[in-house]
Chain A
Amino acid sequence: MGDPPGFHEYASANRDRLVRFGWLLTGDRQSAEDLVQTALERVWLRWGRVSRGANVDAYVHKVMTTTHLTWRRRLWHREQPTDLARDERAVSLVDNPDALAVWDERDALLRVLETLPPRQRAVIVLRYFLDLTEVDCAEALSCSVGTVKSQTSKALRALRASNAMVMHEGGGQR
């Protein structure tokens, strides 16, 4: 039994982007891969219908976001690893001479994102990493546009209070 036509091409072309999205949601790479695998598994099962729609990405983003929020509510996600980016650091230090600075920056960003409630974190990632509109964010989160606006506002206020956006001003230039 082969893959439905177009699925493999879509998954291969978008896997890095989706894992990066998952990494920002979850905070570690293995959980991000688990999340993407679960989302792609669900998309595979509905590929015929999904691929006929206007926007496959929107469906995948929605599945990943809602799956992540569901996982967050489960008990085992209350156990947090003590060193979130350990494997990221190991890989980066081998591959990249500037890896320590990159890792420091990632670590700082993750620590700030960790302080946000899951839905606010998801809103920030959807709006400012995937560059979705408020309407698309609302679709991905299955909520109203007003909720997206209020969650975004609260998240930005929290980030501002933590000085995250000012503290790492040089980080985005890389």
Chain B
Amino acid sequence: MSDEHEVVMLRRQLSAATQGIVASPTLPERAAVAARSRRRRVRLAGAGFAVLAVTAVAVGAAALPFDRSADSGPATEVRDCPAEVPMASNPGLSEEAMLPARPGGVLACRYVLNLEQAVPSHVLAGFRVLDGQDAAAEATAINSGSVLERPRRCPQEPVVEVLFFRNAAGHEAVVVKAGCAGTTDGRRVVDPSPLRWLVQP
């Protein structure tokens, strides 16, 4: 077999092997959010302000920076809760842990379903900051949650909580928690006993 033929075959193999691999539709948005966060942090550092100064969101300011213990990972760089519920990152079936066992700072944004609107939708209702033991406990609870093989559609939940954190590779990731029992949708995790996680505001 000639070298030229081998190269042709290699090209075909590389192309064929990647057919069907598609990117998450939220990938551009995730990159933009991370870039905005980085630029803001750099500008603030240059201006001599603490990062805390720009953490104001619609419902108040997160208690940042996160406390960080020696054996936990880096904290999320996300400082603002989005106005709307974001999509979970890296959709797709996975048997990996949702969160690192000892994540760094986690920003948890809570959304409630506003039934007074013509088309009910979730609105930002609050947030909490998890770090240290609290973040580890949250990761344990989520990682031990039920995961079904087949995702299925859930009705709109009255309360949804979105966790922003750094994954094991050190990159920003998002997990969406809802109370639709026993289901999962990619990286959207759902607790079979929602009251343990989610408390009505």
Residues of A in contact with B (beta carbons under 8 Å apart) = 1, 3, 7-8, 11-12, 15-16, 18-20, 23-24, 29-34, 36-45, 71, 76, 86-88, 90-92, 95-96, 102, 105-106, 109-110, 124-125, 128-129, 131, 156, 159-160, 164-166, 168-169, 171-174
Contacts and interface: CB of A to CB of B under 8 A. Distances in A.
Interface of B: 1, 3, 6-7, 9-25, 27-28, 30-32, 34-36, 38-39, 89-90, 92-96, 167-169, 171-172
A124 B11 CA distance: 9
B168 to A, nearest CB: 8
A37 B14 contact: no
Given A30-B90, A90-B93, A96 B35 contact: no
A129 B3 CA distance: 17
Contact of B31 (A11, A91, A110, A164): A11
A19 B21 contact: yes
Given A37-B171, A90-B93, A8 B32 contact: yes
A93 B22 CA distance: 15
Given A3-B32, A23-B21, A174-B19, A168 B13 contact: yes
B169 A24 contact: no
A171 B13 contact: yes
A15 B28 contact: yes
Nearest to A90: B93
B93 A40 contact: no
Contacts of B21: 16, 19-20, 23, 29, 32, 88
A87 B92 contact: yes
B162 to A, nearest CB: 17
Instruction: Enumerate the 4 nearest inter-chain pairs by beta-carbon distance, A residue then B residue, closest first.
Output: A172-B12, A40-B31, A11-B28, A44-B35
Contacts of A31: 169
11 contacts: A12-B28, A15-B23, A20-B18, A38-B171, A42-B35, A87-B92, A102-B17, A109-B14, A124-B14, A172-B13, A173-B12
Contact of B169 (A76, A159, A168): A76
B13 A44 contact: no
A123 to B, nearest CB: 12
Contacts of A164: 13
A102 B19 contact: yes
Given A40-B35, A41-B31, A164-B13, 5 more contacts: A11-B31, A128-B14, A156-B7, A166-B6, A173-B12
A55 to B, nearest CB: 19
Contacts of A34: 167, 169, 171
- Please indicate which of the listed interface residues B17, B25, B89 has the most CB atoms of chain A within 10 Å of its own CB: B17
A8 B30 CA distance: 11
A96 to B, nearest CB: 6
Contacts of A1: 36
Contacts of B6: 156, 160, 165-166
A26 B179 CA distance: 35
A91 B93 contact: yes
B14 A7 contact: no
B26 to A, nearest CB: 10
A86 to B, nearest CB: 6
B15 to A, nearest CB: 7
Nearest to A23: B21
